[in-house]
Amino acid sequence: MNSRDTQDVILRLLADGPLRTAAIQGQAGGDPDVAFVLARVDAPALDRFGRFLCRHFYRERVLHFFKYSRALFSLTGRAPDAVLKTPEFNALLPQLVMGELDSARKVLALLETHLLGNADSIRAAVPYWDDLVRYQGLFFLTDALPTDNTVVAGARFPARAPTAAILELAWDLPPVLPQLVKPFERLPLASRQATRLLFARSAEGEVSVLRCTDVLRDLLVGMTGEQDPRELARPLGLDTASLEKTMQRLEQLGAVISQGSFSASHRGSEVSPAATPPGR
Q: Which amino acid is at 196?
A: R
Dihedral sign from CA coordinates of 43, 49, 52, 54: negative
May I ask the CATH class of domain 149-280?
alpha beta
Alpha-carbon distance of 154 to 253, in angstroms, equals 23
Domains of the chain by residue range: 1-41, 55-145, 149-280
Helix (H, G, I), strand (E, B) or coil at 170: coil
CB atoms inside a 10 Å sphere around CB 260: 9
Alpha-carbon distance of 219 to 243, in angstroms, equals 10
pLDDT digits (tens, 9 = 90+) for 19-62: 999 998 887 666 888 888 888 889 999 999 999 999 999 999 99
**C-alpha radius of gyration, the chain, whole number:** 22
Chain center to CA of 166: 12
HSE toward the beta carbon, residue 249, CA cutoff 13 A: 21
How much of the chain is helix, strand and coil, in % rounded to 5? 55, 10, 35
pLDDT digits (tens, 9 = 90+) for 219-266: 999 998 888 999 999 999 999 899 999 999 999 999 998 765 554 433
pLDDT band at 276 (very low <50, low <70, confident <90, very high): very low
